[in-house]
Amino acid sequence: MGAMQHPPEEDIVLTRVLYALSDEGRLAIVRRLGAKGVATCAELEDGRPKSSMSHHFRVLRQCGVVRTEVAGTSHLNSLRREELDRRFPGVLAAILAV
Amino acid sequence: MGAMQHPPEEDIVLTRVLYALSDEGRLAIVRRLGAKGVATCAELEDGRPKSSMSHHFRVLRQCGVVRTEVAGTSHLNSLRREELDRRFPGVLAAILAV
DNA sequence: CTTTAAGTTCGACATTCCTCGAACCATTTC
DNA sequence: GAAATGGTTCGAGGAATGTCGAACTTAAAG
């Protein structure tokens, strides 16, 4: 199960990113991810069932906000900061700064 | 029909703003509004029917992105830049800069 | 090899949302 | 006053989304 679906940098669409971040739960995930740097799905679940978390991570992945690397049975998630900042300078930073 | 529904500055919620801007049509409206400063609904319709435009303007209004002042039969729309920038510094600017 | 842990996928249900026509309301204009 | 203008509101249809349980997959551990 190697390659998670990550859009290439140039295919990242602003409205999709904004949509992904318009969900409180997902924004919370992104904030904590921004603070921790890297985290597994399990570390960020907040009482929500695994299937819900998986859904949110997929949304974040498909829109290009999060990168997921498989490490054994765990998935290591991190923000695609550089790519996002090149494509939409300042957007993620401004949102995370709130 | 005086008072359009505008949330006070402190009630503006980031996720709602992001959601409002996650629609291509609405983001286009906001961009053109940012460029023109003030515009009536009719000026920004882009082939879409009036009811659709009205819907989008209401979404933008309710989340605090747009302010609408009634002037006769026309509605003058503008961005709530200062309020948004106080509440979420840099967010709107970064998005509009893309 | 069996069990366990970490996530994903599938399916169902409820909710929300977008789109657009039709009817409706003020305000200005003739 | 009547017609025209600029928007809003209502309602319906259809698409997308979030939530969550259940079953499944893969890798590590025993």
Tokens 């990168």 appear where? A67
Inter-chain touch B90–A89, beta carbons under 8 Å: no
In the prediction, which pLDDT does B4 show? 78
In the prediction, which pLDDT does B25 show? 96
At B21-73, the pLDDT tens digits run 999 999 999 999 999 999 999 888 888 999 999 999 999 999 999 999 999 99
In the prediction, which pLDDT does B65 show? 98
Query: Which secondary-structure segment (H or E) carries A31?
Result: helix A24-36
Neighboring chain B residues of A89 at a CB cutoff of 8 Å: 94, 97-98
Residue A45 — pLDDT band, cuts 50, 70, 90? confident
Residue A1 — pLDDT band, cuts 50, 70, 90? very low
Which alpha helices (DSSP H) does B22-98 contain, by range? 24-36, 41-44, 50-62, 81-87, 91-97
